[in-house]
Amino acid sequence: MAEKRVPPFQSAEVDAVLSCLMDAVVAIDAQSRVVFFNAVAEQMFGYSAAQALGAPVERFMPERFRDKHAEHVRRFAEADISSRRIGTRGEIRGLRANGDEFPIEASIGRIETDGGDLYTVVLRDMTERELAQRATRQREYYLRSLLDTVDAVIVLLGLDGTVLEWNPRAESFYGAPAIAVIGRPYADFIPAEERDAVYAEIKRIGREGTPTDRFESAVQTHRGLRHVVWNAALVADETGNPAILATGHDITEQKEAHEIARHLAAIVQSSDDAIIGTTLNGEIVSWNWAAQTIFGYTPDQAVGQPITMLSQEGQRGKTDQILERTRSGLRVDHVETLQVSKQGKIVPVSLSMFPVRTSNGEIVGCAAIARDITEQTLSREAHADLAGIIEESLNEIFVVDSSTLHFRAVNRGARENLGYSFDQLCELTLVDIMPEFSRERFEALIAPLRAAAKTMLQFETIHARKNGSCYPVEVHLQFGRYAGAERFVAIVLDITERKEAAQRETECERRSHKLEALASISTLTAGIAHDIGTPMTAILGYAEMMRKQLPDDKNRGRAAVIVEQVHRVSELVEALLDMARPGDRPFVPVDPAAVLRTSLELYRENLRKRNIGVEASLGPVPAVIGDAKRLQRVFINLIVNAADAMVNGGTLHVSLTNPDDRHVAIRIRDTGTGIAPEVLPRIFEPLYTTKERTSGTGLGLAVAKGIISEHGGEISATSQPGVGTEFTIVLPI
């Protein structure tokens, strides 16, 4: 059909109209050259009209569209279409002057003019629509991806409870694909006892249009009954059809965990240990009943306070260190520390602390367990005190292996008394320090303990020290347990002093008997000394006269014997009188050197006849306060005893020294036969003598000891058989 011919865009009014259009208008001739390019086209393509006019229209499209465009224009030209009729409409791509491509929508029409056919193309920039459509598609894709990947069960229900759709998570949760459940009633997945409540909520949402928040129900899945909490809301599609979109989360494990937590909370509350939860900064967030009992604070008073409020002054730094270790992920176990209760009481506790973590391992807090160890501490202190008492005891205390009899524990008293170290004793057995026992004999002794016939044995024996010396002991041995094993426990008393005291008592009794005898003799002697002295004097006088006047030697010898025996009787009487009646003359300063010289001089001839030499060293010493006559009696007695000991001659050593500024010392030493060790302790006893009964009275040394004691001094003796004896007299100045 022929179209009306119009002039080719020469009308100013037409140009004005075309210039005002919102779309780009481009006119081309039969050779596809631009003959019109309105202002919108200039803005769209970035070319001015002057640049565009005369240019081939292919310049304004990407090369890949040019052949297709030329073919389209050719077919359009051959078609019998009205010159103003919009031709094929579709999207193509435009090309801007800067090289950017952009989507366009084009409509083409044909106009017959006197100069030939013209083709008008109306172009619309589709960039914004394309971007919007792309965004819509992207949103749809993201939404579908979200629904497919979200870890929530999403179910779309009709208002009658029919399943309209559910996501892949719902498929895996229920164990059924969406295609198999769409159209089925949701009641198929609800336990019978909960269906009414679920459908009532569906109807309420459809009726009121208000969403539900955290609606909990049980559902039946391929894994059994599960618990789900739902959020549901009323939605509508593009046509306005209502539906209910429900989003659910499986809380089965949470419920189980909650139940476990409830049980744990009950355990925490019933625990005898204080269990305290804190933040990472040490702020208390939980406080059980035991914590209240131990520390005196109620939960309201404790929660929100720093845990260091429980620390004793000076120990808060220790608590801070424990918190710091816990915050770093380390566990702290059984640290003993002192805490303070609300009442100010010091509470010893065993404190453990460990980090509290989330399921992904993040540390979010600390948990402290404090055990009141007051009783254990007191018990431990009591045990320590007892152990200290045992260790410091002067008695020997042993713990011995019941099988081997090796030492397992030994107190200090035993170690010091025996002279062994603990390690050395551990190498020994109890029998090793008891020389009186063999292993067989000792086993026989303790057999009643092993057989439980007795609970304790008590016996006396001797212990041998490391240095070889021995001492008497009393042993209390019993069977028991030590460090979880069967042991013998021995408490040993050193009875040296007891033995010595018993010996002294026996000795005292013996001496007492002798002293009683001496007292009787002394009393008798004192009573009759005068009566005996008078006839003795007469006998002595006549005997001396007979010895001088008798003509024959035999009778003179007999007279000499009478003289000698009278002298012995006189000496005996004098000695008894000295013991019965100590000297009553006043003490005066006495030169001990002069007394010694006189004593030696009086007996020098007797010593010479016995072939005994004298070595005297009488250094100058201060005077002593005493009785010279009685001291001389002591010195002569010692000299005579020394001479009697040197039956084959020898040397008598006499010395006088001043060992310090308060004493003088006289030493008289012989080279005679010596005194046996068992005899030496008794030589100063009255009436004890080692000489023959005809040559000694047993009173000489006893009298000497008495005289020296009267002078405030001491006399002692040392002797070595076969070497000699030395007497030492120490007198005060």
Least confident of 267-276, 293-302, 512-521: 512-521
Backbone phi, psi, residue 247, to 5°? -115, 125
Q: What is the pLDDT of residues 169-210, one digit of tens each?
A: 999 999 999 899 999 999 999 999 999 999 999 999 999 999
Over residues 410-430, the mean pLDDT reads: 90
Average pLDDT over residues 87-93: 55
Asked whether 416 and 425 are in contact (CB, 8 A), the reply is no
Residues whose CB is less than 8 angstroms from the CB of residue 147 and which lie 6 or more positions away in sequence, other chains included: 154, 167, 168
Q: Is the pLDDT of residue 696 over 70?
A: no
Whether residue 665 has pLDDT greater than 60: yes
Is residue 695 pLDDT above 70, yes or no?
Answer: no
State residue 10's pLDDT score.
Answer: 47
Per-residue confidence band for 378, with pLDDT thresholds at 50, 70 and 90: confident
Q: Residue 257 — left, alpha, or beta (φ > 0 → left; ψ -120 to 50 → alpha)?
A: alpha
Tokens of 196: 């009414």
Q: How many CB atoms lie within 10 A of CB 407?
A: 23
**d(C-alpha 82, C-alpha 80), whole Å:** 7
User: What was the pLDDT predicted at 530?
Assistant: 57
Question: Per-residue confidence at 475, pLDDT binned at 50, 70, 90?
Answer: very high
Spatial neighbors of 367 by CB under 8 A, at least 6 apart, are 275, 276, 277, 278, 353, 354, 355, 356
Between CA 131 and CA 384 the distance in angstroms is: 87
Instruction: Write the Ramachandran bin of 333: left for phi over 0, alpha for psi from -120 to 50, otherwise beta.
Output: beta
**Closest C-alpha among 705, 696, 699 to residue 686:** 699
Mean pLDDT for the chain overall: 84
Lowest mean pLDDT among 48-62, 68-82, 151-165, 650-664: 68-82
pLDDT at 109 over 50: yes
Q: Which residue type, as a one-letter code, is found at position 246? A: A
To the question of pTM greater than 0.75 for the whole model, the response is no
C-alpha neighbours within 13 Å on the C-beta side of residue 334: 1
Low-confidence winner among 48-62, 220-234, 380-394, 651-665 (lowest mean pLDDT): 380-394
For 12-38, how does the pLDDT look when each residue is reduced to its tens digit (9 = 90+)?
555 565 656 678 999 888 888 999 999
β 588-590/624-626 pair status: antiparallel
What does the DSSP assignment read for 636-663? HHHHHHHHHH-TT-EEEEEEEEEEETTE
456-473 pLDDT, tens per residue? 999 999 999 999 999 999
CA 697 – CA 689 distance, rounded (Å):
7
Q: How far apart are the two ends of the chain, measured CA to CA in Å?
A: 175
What is the model's pLDDT at position 65? 84
**pLDDT of the residue at 4:** 40
> Which of residues 192 and 266 earns the better pLDDT score?
192
Phi-psi region of 473 (alpha: psi -120 to 50; beta: other; left: phi over 0): beta
CA dist 286 and 28 (Å) reads 86
Q: Which two tokens stand for residue 579?
A: 């013991």
The helix (H) or strand (E) run that includes residue 385 is: helix 374-392
What pLDDT was estimated at residue 691? 63
pLDDT digits over 578-608, tens only? Answer: 655 555 568 899 999 999 999 999 888 889 9
pLDDT value for 233: 93
Min mean pLDDT across 444-453, 561-570, 707-716 is at 561-570
Q: State the Cα–Cα distance between residues 284 and 592, nearest whole angstrom.
A: 94
Contact 42, 1 (CB under 8 A): no
- For the ranges 153-157, 260-264, 689-693, the maximum mean pLDDT occurs at 153-157
Distances (CA, A) of 389 to 162, 411, 478, 491, 525: 88, 10, 19, 13, 60
Partnered with residue 117 across adjacent β-strands are 112
Best mean pLDDT range from 334-348, 525-539, 572-586: 334-348
